[in-house]
Structure 1
Amino acid sequence: MGTGTVVLVVLAVLGVGTVVGILARAGRREAEAEKARLKEQARVQALRSLESIWATSPLEFEEYIAELCRRDGCTGVLRVGAANDLGADVTGRLPEARSAVQALRETPHRR
């Protein structure tokens, strides 16, 4: 192999390395942009979800709280309260104890 051939091979390798580096950086930028887009989408969805919670009736809100208890591992969850009562609205059992929840929902402007 002559000196000219070696120089061409080195330049070709450097060129390929540069292209690979550029593509890798572009891929990282694209992944970061997608992560930011998904985070914003989750934030918007959470706001929509919160608005739908504020729109529920008192009994629907208590059932929503009961669903959260079931989701988080409580067993034997019951909605036992009624609107404007002063006692437990949801009861359930955790592995270490019984639990009672009083579901209070204030107006949206006084969170």
Structure 2
Amino acid sequence: MPPPEHEASLNELQRERDIYRLASVKSAASFRKLYDVSSDSMDMGKTDPKSIRYVAFEWLETTLQDVEYRPDIHTYALIGAVLRTALDSCAILEDKTLVNTGRVSNFEALAFAD
């Protein structure tokens, strides 16, 4: 979690949280619950949005790197399912102009160095 002086990083976390809370995003089959919320404040950010902190977790059992490649129909089906899910999720986000390219305009803002 970025410290309060890294406002750009806090804004990015808030933006990501807001995107995942959109009804069309959180109800889509291609998205899993990606975040847990923790807060220092009992008001959960109602009076001061910066008083709440968010932590994002991806709850995945495995990665494709763990899957042994074998040129068979099951492997191709897995690859197809992953690609279809990734593209479906991108289409949902793109429809709302919320596509995240993963590029960071100010890398140092994410370094969290003291």
Task: Output the TM-score relative to the length of structure 2.
Answer: 0.26
Task: Output the TM-score relative to the length of structure 1.
Answer: 0.27
Question: Whose relative contact order is higher, 1 or 2, with alpha carbons under 8 Å and at least 6 apart?
Answer: 2
> Greater Rg, structure 1 or structure 2?
1
Higher helix share: 1
